[in-house]
Amino acid sequence: MRKKVSIIGAGMTGSTTAHWLAERELADIVLVDIVEGMPQGKALDLQEAMPVIGKDVTVTGANDYEPTADSDIVVITAGLPRKPGMSRDDLLATNAEIVGKVAEETIKRSPNAIYIVLTNPLDVMTYLTWKKTGLPANKVMGQAGILDSARMRAFVAMELGVSVENINCYVLGGHGDSMVPLTRHSNVAGVPLNKILPPDRLEAIVERTRKGGGEIVSLLKTGSAFYAPAAGIAQMVEAILKDKHLIVPAAVYMQGEYGLNDIYFGAPAQLGASGVEKVIEYELNEEEMAALKKSAEGVAANIAKLNL
Ligand code: APR
């Protein structure tokens, strides 16, 4: 039997995730949204593309949760995106209400699912999903680190004219402007970035990475990024469904790693069939640890606002 991935929120990121997943023929897909007809229309359109690309995948759209029953993975993208001038944290109250309800409705029907959250503010919404589903922490994670690291990789590739495949970047911390791009651990074909790029160029790339989401929001004017975030989710789904033991940066539950406890936070994590198999700890210097701590304080303060 094919695997099943339900995506709640069939807007820009949700439907683009469905597109990436269908193209990889990873699973049957269910798209759920509150807007009548929209998930059904997008699902049918995508279904009709399958003969062209030669993939056998069933795509279903719905305004209710029944078709999500027995999902292997639930992806949550429901909620509001940012408008120009807004920070991700400005979305907290509205999106908490939406994500809380989505988590309750889906877990009833798919008690064994693994959850991947995308709705912002990401680390806080992932924590909320973990609480509302009552799942073990390794079965709930958020997508942010792949995106932030991919942005940094893209900027390094543009700067150096080297293939993106040769560029490894690692961005840790909360998914906000205080995220922590690691310049000593990031590298081009094994050579650390801080040995290749002059300090001012490196600093410019770090700054552009931190503000990467905002750059897209100001260009789009309505809505936020969707291709790259959705590609990040697809990579996580693939790692889980294929039990790849793939290490990617993700928002994961911290249990002492990096000196942090009881928050969801961006760190390299190994993903496989059971969800998060392991959180990887880099050796960080004082400056990197201080930046990570600052980022964690911001996430913890927002989690506290939820009064869970
Ligand atoms: N149940 C299901 N779907 C919902 C609900 C709900 N309770 N509330 C809102 N939605 C749907 C909206 O109808 C919309 O189609 O969520 C979808 C969100 O899609 P977009 O507005 O296109 O936003 P998107 O760009 O996909 O971003 C979604 O992900 O990256 C984050 O910051 C972003 O929080 C935002 C989320």
Can you spell out the DSSP letters for 64-114?
SSGGGTT-SEEEE--SPPP-TT--GGGGHHHHHHHHHHHHHHHHHH-TT-E
Q: Which atom of ligand 1 is nearest to the CA of 13?
A: 26
Tokens linked to 85: 């001038």
CA distance 198 to 196: 7
- Would you say the CB of residue 82 lies under 6 angstroms from ligand 1? yes
Q: Rounded to a whole number, what is the largest CA-CA distance in the chain?
A: 55
Q: Which atom of ligand 1 is nearest to the CA of 101?
A: 7
- CA of 225 relative to ligand 1 center, distance in Å: 12
**Mean pLDDT over residues 295-304, rounded?**
94
Instruction: Locate the DSSP E strands across the chain.
Output: 4-8, 28-32, 59-62, 73-76, 114-117, 140-142, 167-172, 180-188, 191-192, 246-255, 261-272, 275-279
Instruction: Give the residue numbers annotated as catalytic, written as ranges.
Output: 175
CA distance 242 to 245: 9
CATH code of the domain occupying 145-304? 3.90.110.10
What fold, for 4-142? Rossmann fold (3.40.50)
How many CA atoms lie within 13 Å of 215's alpha carbon, on the beta-carbon side?
11
- Would you say the CB of residue 214 lies under 6 angstroms from ligand 1? no
Report percent pLDDT > 70 for the chain. Answer: 100
Neighbours of 141 (CB within 10 A): 27
- Would you say the CB of residue 123 lies under 6 angstroms from ligand 1? no
Contact criterion met (CB below 8 Å) for 128 and 308: yes
Pairing of strands 261-272, 246-255: antiparallel
Q: Which atom of ligand 1 is nearest to the CA of 78?
A: 16
Tokens linked to 17: 């995730």
Return the pLDDT at 105. Answer: 98
- What is the torsion angle, in degrees rounded to the nearest 10, for the CA atoms of residue 233, residue 235, residue 236 and residue 240? 140
**Mean pLDDT over residues 295-305, rounded?**
94
- CA of 222 relative to ligand 1 center, distance in Å: 13
Ligand 1 atom 7, closest CA: 98
Return the pLDDT at 91. Answer: 87
Ligand 1 atom 18, closest CA: 11
pLDDT digits (tens, 9 = 90+) for 244-279: 999 999 999 999 999 999 999 999 999 999 999 999
Q: Which atom of ligand 1 is nearest to the CA of 15?
A: 26
Closest-CA residue to 235 (of 116, 57, 121): 116
Asked if the model's pLDDT at residue 177 lies above 90, the reply is no
- Would you say the CB of residue 11 lies under 6 angstroms from ligand 1? yes
**CA-to-CA separations, 212 to 35, 154, 179, 216, 225, in angstroms, rounded:** 29, 11, 11, 7, 9
- CA of 110 relative to ligand 1 center, distance in Å: 21
Report percent pLDDT > 90 for the chain. Answer: 93
Return the pLDDT at 88. Answer: 86
**Per-residue pLDDT band at 35 (split at 50, 70, 90):** very high
Return the pLDDT at 86. Answer: 84
Return the pLDDT at 84. Answer: 86
Q: Name the residue of 19, 34, 216 whose CB sits within 8 Å of the most ligand 1 atoms, as the mutation to test its pocket.
A: 34
**Per-residue pLDDT band at 57 (split at 50, 70, 90):** very high
Tokens linked to 150: 């991919």
Mean pLDDT (the chain) is: 96
Return the pLDDT at 176. Answer: 85
- Would you say the CB of residue 226 lies under 6 angstroms from ligand 1? yes
Where do the domains of the chain lie? Answer: 4-142, 145-304
Helix (H, G, I), strand (E, B) or coil at 135: coil
Ligand 1 atom 31, closest CA: 119
Return the pLDDT at 235. Answer: 98
- CA of 90 relative to ligand 1 center, distance in Å: 15
pLDDT digits (tens, 9 = 90+) for 64-116: 999 999 999 999 999 988 888 888 888 899 999 999 999 999 999 999 999 99
Per the confidence metrics, is the pTM higher than 0.95? yes
CA distance 4 to 22: 11
Return the pLDDT at 90. Answer: 86
Helices (H) and strands (E) in the chain, counts: 10, 12
CA distance 41 to 60: 9
- CA of 98 relative to ligand 1 center, distance in Å: 9
Return the pLDDT at 20. Answer: 98
